[in-house]
Amino acid sequence: MQSLKTIDSWPSENAASAVIAKDGTVLGSHGELNRKFSLASVTKLLSAYAFLLAIEEEAFDLDTPAGPEGSTIKHLLAHTSGYDFADKTVRFAPGARRLYSNVGFDVLAEALESATEMSFSEYLTEAVLEPLGMTSTSVDGSAAADGISTVADLLKFAAELQTPKLLAPETHYLATHVVFPDLTGILPGYGRQKNNAWGLGMEIRSEKSPHWTGSQNSPETFGHFGQAGTFLWVDPVLEAACVTLTDKPFGPWAVEAWAPFNDAVVSELQTAR
């Protein structure tokens, strides 16, 4: 795919990108797919999957109290617990606003560890990484932002996100569709969004503007980007997913580059069909 070569013009020392279809076919790639990159908040996709599997295994459920008073596992997954971004200061009542929170995911990890008597890293490895063959991926530290992985490994995860084999279909549906709809909030790097749509750990594109995915991505597109200069999106309408990893921290360069890049990827895929 010619559109993927655009990453060579980005201000990162290293970058890699690939696109995978719903049926598991890799439609194109560029860069070193086996190079390890820090994921930053793309880590939350992996962590969310572990939390959802823990729910299916009845370690806890969506309505289990966790976090601030009145908050639940569901609130934490959907960034509506009221926690501040970086600490346990409570800014809003649970469910009142979409306040993106790293600490919320760390609290989820603590809840999982308490319920399973396993470390979060161990549970994630056994529940998600090993079954998917993601041997170059690890989360040693924060469940919110300390993941390390490769494009090759994340393609396996992107295939799972499109055709789930680990999660039940109904759980996957809940994760990838909006929960607590119509909440205002700040999308980091992109400003206030009147409807800051989110699923269970998955950001939903919806009608957000501006946004890091392309204007040609469907509103159903879900995924995450990270401050390490990384992103993964799945477009169910397009029946394809894109993984892009760089070592240039997110900044104005990414706001300028990512949406046009993703539009070009979508356009090329549509033309090819």
**At 18, which CATH number?**
3.40.710.10
Number of domains comprising the chain: 1
Asked whether residue 273 carries a pLDDT value surpassing 90, the answer given is: no
Distance CA(210)–CA(130), nearest Å, equals 36
Q: Is 144 helix (H, G, I), strand (E, B) or coil?
A: coil
Note the pLDDT of residue 14.
Answer: 98
Residue 43 · residue 142 · CB < 8 Å: yes
pLDDT band at 155 (very low <50, low <70, confident <90, very high): very high
Average pLDDT over residues 173-191: 95
204: which residues sit within 8 A by CB, 6+ positions away?
176, 177, 178, 197, 198, 219, 220, 221, 222
248: which residues sit within 8 A by CB, 6+ positions away?
10, 11, 12, 13, 15, 229, 254
Give, as one character, the DSSP assignment of residue 16: E
Q: Is 194 helix (H, G, I), strand (E, B) or coil?
A: coil
Handedness of CA 219, 54, 58, 81 (dihedral sign): negative
Tokens of 151: 């494009």
Note the pLDDT of residue 272.
Answer: 82
Asked whether residue 64 carries a pLDDT value surpassing 90, the answer given is: yes
Tokens of 183: 């909440």
Handedness of CA 109, 49, 72, 61 (dihedral sign): negative
17-50 pLDDT, tens digit each: 999 999 999 999 999 999 999 999 999 999 999 9
pLDDT band at 141 (very low <50, low <70, confident <90, very high): very high
Note the pLDDT of residue 99.
Answer: 96
**Chain mean pLDDT for the chain:** 97
**Domain, as residue range, for 58:** 2-272
Note the pLDDT of residue 220.
Answer: 98
Q: What is the pTM of this model?
A: 0.96
SS3 annotation, 46-101? HHHHHHHHHHHCCCCCCCCECCCCCCEHHHHHCCCCCECCCCCCECCCCCCCECCC
Average pLDDT over residues 105-128: 97
